Amino acid sequence: MIIESLVVGPIQANCFILGDEETREAAVIDPGDEAKRILSRLQKNNLQLRTIINTHGHFDHVGGNKALQEKTGAPILIHAGDAPMLAQLSASAAVWGMQADDSPPPDRLLEDGDEITFGGITLKVIHTPGHSPGGISLFTPQDLFVGDTLFSGSIGRTDFPGGDYGTLIRSVRDRLFILGDDVRVYPGHGPDTTIGQERRFNPFFQ
């Protein structure tokens, strides 16, 4: 599997491009901004975008949905718990003195246990609320894309509407830490890490 990462937008969110090396079909996880850069990276790698996946509905992770869908026609996928946020991105960004286009409505509402397939790659949806009600993580046998649920040495904020600290801690401990020490974790901000590293050293779980 091809994994390309871009840091996009003023809040420096991680956007991930996943590609099947054989079919050249791809998914984009969290196109927060800079859709032109994302499209350029897809073209550089000769990848055809088949799906846009949002790990949660905050504007810094989904602000590029509209432009990316307009150029590619790819469907937008998000958990039902965060779907209402997509129509409120411009207002949410304005609170922070920033700009974002409201997203088109989602084409598919995700639930825990769903699978997303493109080419020969399948991602399993793990519902990991706490940072937001509909936060999800996306799992392959070796890689885990966690949005703002877990960071290297930290966790996501829980002081936004719909956030809950206890729920987030349980999401990580009960749903992610069981996946295996060698699983590579790709957060929504900052550097990647591993499940083993976070289980042993993340101060929120000591």
Q: What are phi and psi of 29, to 5 degrees?
A: -100, 120
Give pLDDT tens digits for 70-113.
999 999 999 999 999 999 999 999 999 998 999 999 999 999 99
User: Cα Rg for the chain, rounded, in angstroms?
Assistant: 16
Please compute the mean of the pLDDT values over residues 46-53 and round it to a whole number.
Answer: 97
Please compute the mean of the pLDDT values over residues 55-84 and round it to a whole number.
Answer: 97
Measured in Å, how far apart are the chain's first and last C-alpha atoms? 33
CB 163 within 8 A of CB 130: yes
Residue 167: the pLDDT is: 98
Positive or negative, the Cα torsion across 164, 152, 5, 2?
negative
Domains and CATH numbers, the chain: 2-205 (3.60.15.10)
Cα 133 → chain centroid: 14
The torsion defined by the Cα of 114, 204, 18 and 116, in degrees rounded to 10, comes to: 0
CB 6 within 8 A of CB 37: yes
Burial (CB count <10 Å: 0-12, 13-18, 19+), residue 110 = buried
Beta pairing class for 76-79 and 48-53: parallel
Q: Report CA-CA distances (Å) from 17 to 37, 97, 112, 165, 186.
A: 11, 28, 22, 29, 12
* Eight-class DSSP state of 169: H
Q: What is the pTM of this model?
A: 0.96
Q: What are phi and psi of 204, to 5 degrees?
A: -75, -10
Give pLDDT tens digits for 4-28.
999 999 999 999 999 999 999 999 9
Residue 174: the pLDDT is: 97
Where would I find the H helices in the chain? 35-44, 59-62, 65-72, 89-95, 165-170, 195-201
* Eight-class DSSP state of 192: -
Count of CB atoms situated within 10 Å of the CB of 56 = 28
What is the number of alpha carbons within 13 Å of residue 134 lying toward its C-beta? 19
